């Protein structure tokens, strides 16, 4: 994969183990990847998820570097 990759998961998300595996595999292969983990489930409705996705996409569309590669949030 050669396109920028951003994954957003929650500490209580059933897909989190796979997202962590994908992130570490891509980074080990030298690919650009970003992982955000926050205090939500897979079905949580939280504006953070949408904001993270839009921020990442807009940064790349503008030719800018998006913030940090891995971010973790707890509440």
For residue range 21-48, what is the model confidence (pLDDT) as tens digits?
A: 999 999 999 888 888 888 877 777 667 7
Query: 19 falls in which pLDDT band (50, 70, 90)?
Result: very high
pTM for the predicted model, two decimal places: 0.69
Helix (H, G, I), strand (E, B) or coil at 45: coil
Taking a C-beta distance cutoff of 8 angstroms, is the pair 52, 7 a contact? Answer: no
Query: What's the confidence (pLDDT) of residue 22?
Result: 93
- Rounded to whole angstroms, the Cα distance separating 26 from 4 reads 10
Residue 18: CB partners within 8 Å, gap ≥ 6? none
Q: Which residues of 30-55 are buried (b: 16+ CB within 10 A; e: fewer)?
A: eebbbbbbbebeeeeeeeebeebeee
């Amino acid at each position: 994969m050669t396109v920028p990759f951003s994954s957003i998961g929650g500490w209580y998300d059933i897909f989190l183990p796979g997202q962590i595996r994908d992130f570490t595999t891509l980074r080990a292969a030298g690919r650009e990847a970003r992982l955000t983990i926050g205090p939500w489930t897979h079905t949580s409705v939280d504006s953070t998820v949408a904001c993270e996705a839009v921020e990442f996409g807009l940064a790349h569309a503008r030719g800018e570097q998006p913030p940090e590669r891995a971010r973790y949030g707890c509440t």
